[in-house]
Structure 1
Amino acid sequence: MKLDFIEEPELEFGGLRRHVDIREGLKQFGPLDIGDSAPRRIRAGIVGTKQTMDGLQQWFERCRNGVAAKASKQPNLFPSFPGFGDESPFRTDFDFDASLCRVLPARDLRALAQQSHYKALFDGVEMVASEIRAITEHGRPDVVLIALPPELLGLDDEEEEDSDGKASSPEPQERKSAEDEELAFGTDLDLRNMLKAEVMKFGQPIQIVLPATYDPAAKARSGNADGKGRLQDEATRAWNIHTALYYKANYRPWRITRNYSDLKTCFVGVSFYRSLDKANLVTSMAQVYDERGEGVIVRGKPVQLSKDDPVPHLSSADAFALIDHALKEYRKEHKHSPARLVLHKSSNYNAAELEGFNRAVDEQGLETADFLVITKASAKLFREGRYPPLRGTMLSLDSRNHLLYTRGSVPYYATYAGLYVPRPLKIQIAQGDESPRKLAEEILALTKLNWNNTQFDGGMPITLRVARDVGKVLKYVRADGVVQPKYSFYM
């Protein structure tokens, strides 16, 4: 066994300047792509009631001049928000066009209360989707904000997302089974992901905003004040939603760094999601990224679960087709081919998958490939004192099995920003050309590509974390439905 430590990866911001922290990097240097151009405008539409639309717009107006930091002994963890406008580090402002604002009829919302839960859910989705359709037909904005009213909020079983104001999720205490790791998407219906799936055919990015984001009192009024989905402080809420909207407007806030001597690398996460009909059918998908975090989503074919193995696997032909398609989409998106493929999966590779993946690599002419299995580990490390191991701590059990702490104590924050004892990631190298340390460095860096959350100590790399967001939406999209390739349609 060997114990090692990986320093916090830096990110690149405006002027190619670097910093380990997302928020401080944006404050000091501005977004990656801002350059010397004139201030930008994000043309935004809004759907909601008059009350929720007014409340949201008033909050954005307050945020323009900045939001003070909350009182804390960890100022780097809870910094102030510098504002959002021409004179802010973002050098970007919103343009709320009155012609792109649509009011949900109060009578129709009241009628939902008289219907069954599922009827109200489907009608609520259709009600909002029809208004989004009207906006796109009138003049397509960069993003449409859905100021969710209480009548629709009660239909949604999902917890709040980071950009909607939820505090970072705590570490789960129980170990998930292999099937749970791979198939995290059940058959329950929820409004937000149904809505994202329904409007995907319009090609219009949306941002669903909960009332508690701009009105903390709304959480207490909703009866959800039991601590589940803890509300973030206002400055953090402002950081997260403004950054998410900047990304959804097709701008890039930051990227991970790379050495120019490194091979151009394509990072791919392979995962599966369940169908809604409760059959044992799952569909494969791939999330494809370069070093910038520019990604495309690729949907593969349905897979029949085996009675002898609850974890889905691809046939050799389907494994080849999925990665072949993913690499072609990478080339189409980035105008060049990668020299190296790094594949992340949350279950073991069988012989057929390895054969298919390697055949795709060979036929596409790549120089090298690394195939990894990444899961939550059951083993934990302990250090002296009150705090858990440092983020970046790596324990190599042997040449192929390693533990990596992506959640843990963070020196920059001067604390561990979690509620429970963190679990490291278990990294198994099924096939590797690169060194284990280099593979772990890449995983740690990929945890910082989360445009929904500006707190950088995320637990999973984007290759696998995005799988949950994408799978929750794609399960509502028919086999012949439109699948948008960009992550901004799923987050």
Structure 2
Amino acid sequence: MKKLIFIEEPNILFAYGQKCVDARDGLTLFGPLNKIYGIKSGVISTQNGLQIFKNYIQHIQKPIFNANNITRPMFPGFEAVFGCKWEQESIVYKEVKNEEIGKMLYNESTHKRTYDLVTLFLDKIVTANKNEDEKVDVWFVIVPEEIYKYCRPNSILPKELVETRAKISKSKAKNYNYQPSFFDDYDKDLKQREEEAKTYHYDAQFHDQLKARLLQYTIPTQIIRESTLAWRDVKNKFGMPVRDFSKIEGHLAWTISTAAFYKAGGKPWKLSDIRSGVCYLGLVYKKIDTSNNPKNACCAAQMFLDNGDGTVFKGEVGPWYNPDNREFHLKPKEAKTLLSQALLSYREQNGENPKEIFIHAKTKFNKTEWEAFQEVVPSETNLVGITITKTKPLKLFKKEGSYPIMRGNAFVVNEKSAFLWTVGYVPKTESALSMEVPNPIFIEINKGKADIEQVLKDILSLTKLNFNACIYADGEPVTLRFADKIGEILTASLDIKAPPLAFKYYI
């Protein structure tokens, strides 16, 4: 019977060449990999949202503790951790008035109210970005709870709050065919119907739609609910906080601070022991629900290098989805284009071709698309296709002890496949990165040749590159961790033409 192997916890690199396994320890002891002078904040919010933001920035300048300091370390304070200033007065502010929100929020159509409110915030950001003399590092969009509640798919506005009736139903809007008429200029209702029908081309999700429509402007944003920053004050009808962070208040500070530092241009850490000359690509697919063709989907690739930098390349929309086997596959032309973009970007950053390219996907590669990938890859580059899924169940239980299987354990099935536990018990924190019996991910070398143990080490390392949450590790490699969210942003508006952009513009 085959035995488990154990992969040591990957190190990450911080300032002064110091290594550590936990990002929070590394930042506290040594500081970020590269520093910035400070964060110049742009804030788009109501007056109440601005005050909430200022109060929170002041709050995180001092140490913040969690209820459990072993599993989640305390936050020492922003400047103490990152060695730069983030001041509550260093702000460019653009107000969104409650009256402006009220005019758009109480529309019966979820798509219409979401589109109009996104437009309201977006116009203020874009205008300010063009006209302000002071350069803003990150724009913080502080969202009132009502916008979060009623600007999501399937959200329903209570009848007593409806002030404007929908002009067209969702089913009619999807197949709306505008026919010019001699009386167009006099038919106000027709114009309103046409305008509302266009909003159904966009996803009724405030966060994703705003991110999608901002891509062309390359403006880094952090969208935060008021109830996240002022969680003690925003309460439900029972007088309880809508979001209760009382037990993980320090964790919240770590997460918001690290994301802000990263989006402002800093690099918190990078992988320390990863091989040089290696490029990791994660394929992203998302079905387009608004399309009449059930096969239509959007595709993209996330590229990550050994230095931790991430770039997203948007591919073409096409019939990539097969409803019969529920798999996504590119046609040769699109496969070549997507990989060629990644190779060009790699050469621009490194001055040479990569030694190895690992393509990660949730479905197997077929012969046609793989041959297309091979055609554009230089002869000196080793191309490997890796399938990563959670669909093959394998649970292991310990006979003794209170904790589950350790993170880093792997069961190698053969030279091409293995189960890897990316969650599980972590001795350092004396806790498990899972509330349930940990499930492994199944890893298969689907195309090309590589050492399976090296593949497992790389994938475990890639679980430590999530700059959007300062945690010990993730349950998925970063190449696939954000695949669904990036897909949702790319399909939130099919009219958006996104150039290759840094990963920070999507998260």
Q: In structure 1, what is the equivalent of residue 183 of structure 2?
A: none
Q: 1:145 is matched with which residue: 135, 140, 147?
A: 140
Q: 1:241 is matched with which residue: 235, 248, 256?
A: 256
Task: Tell me how far 1:312 sits from its aligned partner.
Answer: 1.7
Task: Tell me how far 1:125 sits from its aligned partner.
Answer: 0.7
Kept after mapping to 2: 8 A contact 1:45/1:96: no
Kept after mapping to 2: 8 A contact 1:272/1:312: yes
Distance 1:445 1:222 in 2: 44
SS of residue paired to 1:451:
coil
Q: 2:67 is matched with which residue: 59, 64, 71?
A: 71
Residues 322 and 223 of structure 1, relative CA distance in 2, 3 Å threshold: farther
Task: Tell me how far 1:99 sits from its aligned partner.
Answer: 7.1
Distance 1:447 1:215 in 2: 30
Match runs of 1:27-426 below 5 Å: 27-34=28-35, 40-67=37-64, 69-72=65-68, 75-85=69-79, 88-94=80-86, 100-116=92-108, 117-139=110-132, 140-157=135-152, 189-218=204-233, 220-221=235-236, 233-258=248-273, 262-278=275-291, 279-280=293-294, 281-304=296-319, 305-306=321-322, 308-361=324-377, 364-376=378-390, 377-384=392-399, 385-426=401-442
Amino acid in structure 2 at the alignment position of 1:264: G
Kept after mapping to 1: 8 A contact 2:404/2:437: yes
Deviations 1:218-250 (A, max 9, x none): 453377979999776211111000100010012
Kept after mapping to 2: 8 A contact 1:77/1:455: no
Percentage identity across paired residues of the two chains = 26
SS of residue paired to 1:299:
strand
Distance 1:222 1:56 in 2: 24
Distance 1:78 1:197 in 2: 33
Deviations 1:41-92 (A, max 9, x none): 211110111111101111111211221x2232xx34221111123xx13111
Distance 1:459 1:113 in 2: 37
Distance 2:113 2:146 in 1: 10
Distance 1:419 1:230 in 2: 18
Task: Tell me how far 1:97 sits from its aligned partner.
Answer: 6.4
* Unaligned residue ranges in structure 2 (runs of 5+): 154-201
Residues 459 and 99 of structure 1, relative CA distance in 2, 3 Å threshold: closer
| Higher Cα Rg, which structure | 2
Q: In structure 2, what is the equivalent of residue 169 of structure 1?
A: none
Kept after mapping to 1: 8 A contact 2:300/2:315: yes
Distance 2:91 2:122 in 1: 17
Deviations 1:259-301 (A, max 9, x none): 6xx4510001112112252332012211111012101111122
Distance 1:20 1:340 in 2: 25
* Unaligned residue ranges in structure 1 (runs of 5+): 159-186
Amino acid in structure 1 at the alignment position of 2:144: P
SS of residue paired to 1:271:
strand
Residues 230 and 272 of structure 1, relative CA distance in 2, 3 Å threshold: farther
Over the aligned positions, Cα root-mean-square deviation in angstroms equals: 2.5
Distance 1:200 1:231 in 2: 35
Residues 222 and 314 of structure 1, relative CA distance in 2, 3 Å threshold: farther
Kept after mapping to 2: 8 A contact 1:271/1:285: yes
Amino acid in structure 2 at the alignment position of 1:345: A
Distance 1:228 1:300 in 2: 37
Distance 1:195 1:277 in 2: 18
Residues 424 and 19 of structure 1, relative CA distance in 2, 3 Å threshold: same
Distance 2:374 2:244 in 1: 42
Deviations 1:201-233 (A, max 9, x none): 222111111123221234533779799997762
Kept after mapping to 1: 8 A contact 2:235/2:242: no
Residues 42 and 365 of structure 1, relative CA distance in 2, 3 Å threshold: farther
Q: In structure 1, what is the equivalent of residue 191 of structure 2?
A: none
Residues 484 and 352 of structure 1, relative CA distance in 2, 3 Å threshold: closer
Distance 1:217 1:223 in 2: 13
Task: Tell me how far 1:123 sits from its aligned partner.
Answer: 1.3
Residues 2 and 321 of structure 1, relative CA distance in 2, 3 Å threshold: farther
Residues 57 and 360 of structure 1, relative CA distance in 2, 3 Å threshold: same
Distance 2:244 2:54 in 1: 24
Residues 12 and 222 of structure 1, relative CA distance in 2, 3 Å threshold: farther
Residues 92 and 156 of structure 1, relative CA distance in 2, 3 Å threshold: farther
Amino acid in structure 1 at the alignment position of 2:259: A
Kept after mapping to 1: 8 A contact 2:407/2:421: yes
Task: Tell me how far 1:487 sits from its aligned partner.
Answer: 1.0
Residues 353 and 76 of structure 1, relative CA distance in 2, 3 Å threshold: farther
Kept after mapping to 2: 8 A contact 1:383/1:389: yes
Deviations 1:380-419 (A, max 9, x none): 2222233221100100112222000001111111011322
Q: Normalising by structure 1, what TM-score?
A: 0.86
